[in-house]
Amino acid sequence: MSDPSVPELILASASPRRRELLRAAGFQFIVKPAEVDESPIDQEPPRAQVSRLAVAKALAGAKENPQSLVLAADTIVVLKGQIFGKPKELAEAKEMLKALSGQTHEVITAFCLLGKNCPKPIVKPVSSAVTFRPLNASDIEAYLALGESLDKAGAYAVQGLGLSLIKEIQGSLTNVMGLPLQEVIVALEKYLGPRT
């Protein structure tokens, strides 16, 4: 018999978007963000980087919560092989948005499950293609003034007014938001059973 004081599922992420998506999918969970070193490794391919970080977060979460199933994730933006993480300041965010203007980039989110009933990390990267409309200087300045850029990979928030920058999305919208919900639901139900 399971201990009711032990959460069945832990989301090892501080992201409000991931929390909202997982809750909307009908899962009960506890949020316990995992702190890991997210420094890039030279010459590491984008899918390898995002998968490595998702696994590292899941490992950290599972170490602290060995009786629970841990879900962790990492999201990056990739343009022509260059990885765009979270900008540290508005000047960096401005350069990212200028580079993305009128271009199609890739958003990769890798999620990882580890813990109860899942003793080895299960990691899956999911990709979506996002095309920005051409942006002029005033478009970029107006968006930066909204304050959405600094904690988002690629300096925009698709779930916010960043959607106005986008011409087209091919693939999963929730993946661009930070959690590919369709794939996550299938994976979680394999280990947790159907949602009640």
Residue 1 pLDDT class (50, 70, 90 cuts): very low
DSSP track, 116-155: TTEEEEEEEEEEEEEEEPP--HHHHHHHHTTT-STTSGGG
pTM value? 0.92
Task: Output Rg (C-alpha) for the chain, integer angstroms.
Answer: 17
Q: Is residue 132 part of a domain?
A: yes
User: What's the confidence (pLDDT) of residue 3?
Assistant: 55
Residue 4 inside a domain? The answer is no
Residue 1 lies in a domain: no
Task: Establish if 129 belongs to a structural domain.
Answer: yes
Q: Is there a contact between 178 and 16 (Cβ–Cβ < 8 Å)? A: no
Question: What tokens appear for 144 in the block?
Answer: 């930066």
For residue 24, give both structure tokens: 């909307």
Give the whole-angstrom CA distance, residue 105 versus residue 189.
Answer: 31
In a domain, 3, yes or no: no
Catalytic residue status for 74: yes
CATH number at residue 147: 3.90.950.10
pLDDT in tens, 80-117: 999 998 899 999 999 999 999 999 999 999 999 999 88
Question: Around 24, how many Cα atoms within 13 Å sit in the side-chain half-sphere?
Answer: 12
pLDDT digits (tens, 9 = 90+) for 54-81: 999 999 999 999 999 999 999 999 999 9
Range of the domain at 148: 9-192
CB 98 within 8 A of CB 135: yes
- Asked if pLDDT for residue 2 goes beyond 60, the answer is no
Residue 14 lies in a domain: yes
| Between 81 and 7, the higher pLDDT residue | 81
Does residue 45 lie within any of the structural domains? Answer: yes
- Residue pair 165/146 in contact (Cβ under 8 Å)? The answer is no
Q: Which residues, including other chains, have CB under 8 Å from residue 116's CB and lie 6 or more apart?
A: 8, 66, 67, 68, 69, 191
For residues 75 and 89, what is the distance between their CA atoms, to the nearest angstrom? 19
User: Over the stretch 131-172, which tens digit does the pLDDT of each residue have?
Assistant: 999 999 999 999 999 999 998 899 999 999 999 999 999 999
* Catalytic option among 3, 37, 42, 74: 74
CB 76 within 8 A of CB 175: no
Rounded Cα distance between 24 and 104, Å, is: 29
Residue 160 resides in a domain: yes
pLDDT at 4 over 70: no
pLDDT at position 37 over 80: yes
How many domains is the chain partitioned into structurally?
A: 1
The whole-number average pLDDT for the span 29-54 is 93
